[in-house]
Structure 1
Amino acid sequence: MDELPLDQVRTLLAVVDEGTFDAAAAALHVTPSAVSQRVKALEQRTGRVLLIRTKPVRATESGQVVVRFARQLARLERDARAELGMGSADGRGPVRLPIAVNADSLATWFLPALTRVPQDPPVGFELHREDEAHTTALLREGQVMAAVTSSPDPVTGCTVRPLGLARYLPVASPGFVARYLSGPGSLADRLRQAPTIVFDRRDELQDRFVRSLAGPGAQDAAAASPRHLVPTSEGFRDAVAAGLGWGMVPQPQAEPLLRAGELTLLTPARPMDVPLYWQQWKLDSPALAAVATVIARAAAEALLPADPTL
């Protein structure tokens, strides 16, 4: 395959970002016909369909590879211009770093860490909130340059480093425990029947905890348990404290309420630890390197050490 023409690559990125060929044409100050011709030429050159022509337009798996390359190219160009004292190419001021991060990290240790990132030159953060099990999808699609993730397997074109373990505690309000979790039967059986707080439909942490209590071969906790979906970290904690259900709450959020008697620890000997990793593009970017260093230091302070045997 011949080299990829940069004007075609940038055009494909504009179409994906703007959502339509017409909007991309307006952003690039060219005609929609020119945009269509460039995309078709790029597809012919690569021998692959790069876009799904829906509204909004979506990149195919091959298209995501080109989009990721386009974003990396733009990042390198902006870094070079900054080092040369030329400012940003588009005149929009500070360069933005898109990062995917899970809600619990965002609500506890991640935001304070960003305040430590040097602002010379100025850096603007574009945070994408996503479950730690799914942040790598944003990396793969080229939407972000770095991510806090639970996956140790690097996305193509990315490096990965362990951050530590995020500890979750099984908790409920004292009133909830008295109403739903007292009486005969095992705790696992009672939890299966009790109202449960989950972050979203992909949140499996509560079910994993019940299975850990019940042992191999136990029925799925979701079969009988009423579910309350609360899609913010703070709201999740508050819903548990209010007695709406039980749930796995991050230790930094749970401990103050445990000391105040607003939460009860369901089983002291069974926390759940979720390993977290930092993945980022393989770019020689000073700004990205500075962020990675700060995040690693903050995680070492806020998280438990990763198990060296894993």
Structure 2
Amino acid sequence: MKILKFFLIFIPISIILELFKVNQVLNFVCSALAIIPLAGLMGEATEQISVYSGPKIGGFLNATFGNATELIISFFALKRGMIEVVKASIVGSVIGNILLVLGFSMLFGGFKYKSQKFNKKTTEVSSSMLLFAVIGLCIPAIFTHTINKGAITNKYEWFSLVVAGIMFVIYILSLYFSFYTHKDLYALKYEDDKNKKWSLTKSIAVLLISTVIIALESEILVSSVDSMSSMLRLSETFVGIIIIPIIGNAAEHSTSVMMAMKDKMDLSIEIAIGSSLQMILFVTPVLVLISLFFRPMSIILNDFELAALIVSVLIVNRVASDGESNWLEGVQLVFVYLIIAVSFLI
């Protein structure tokens, strides 16, 4: 986290580059580097607020702000009509968390410890929820793939809205499950080394200021996507599915790896799988609703995005099924992610 804060210098640099329209590729890179530490500050502020408010409200805040960076970036992408980029970023965030983040966590944790154990029961609950969430994303796409393309009219636009609503309800119920009816299962997840480093006023101020600046940087980032993609000959799908999720989740990625290296594999898995669940069950429905103010966005994914999601969830469920991890399992997850990333690059 301390290293990431040095990246704050890119905030004024990106603003200057945007004002003078120097170079769109450079502008994209600088705004991306500026967002990374801001996302970290937002997460740190949320964590500090939860120390004062307690685990219940803290859990709600983490759920709300856990993927706030991706939500803000996607909002500006929707505003510009970049729906495919938004849908790709949803898929990219999920596979990035459960393959890349969890893979690196198991890899670096496995270098320090021969094997690491984690709570099998809570992991099974999270994995089952993840499987349901992916089914929610897959069913609309499979449905539209099985009917005559010419028969798809506006009457099917409500389908995505209904599915998004159902997923959001499940998300609320999962929070109730985690923090009320079965909170004993998740007790270990709050036994972290939390201390009051910031005052409550400072924490709220940092959270608000970080959110505002991320919104500014996100608008700069999204405005340069088209030019950057064409100059570097990258597809918008690759930008959405690989680059944007890495930018939005960089701070979260580092936290997960650090927890694994402290032999807190339960926390690493919760960060990786929990963030993916938030992305599908919370962020996606919110984006579908927001899109109604611009251009309605369906949650119908293309064939390869579907395949990437299904394969990712299957291998994570398999790796996490025994309640134990090692460095080789981490390598497997990372390599699956690399194969998918290269496939989208071609």
| TM-score, normalised with respect to structure 2 | 0.22
Per chain length, whose mean CA-contact separation is higher, i.e. which structure has more relative contact order (CA < 8 Å, sep 6+)? Answer: 2
Larger radius of gyration: 1
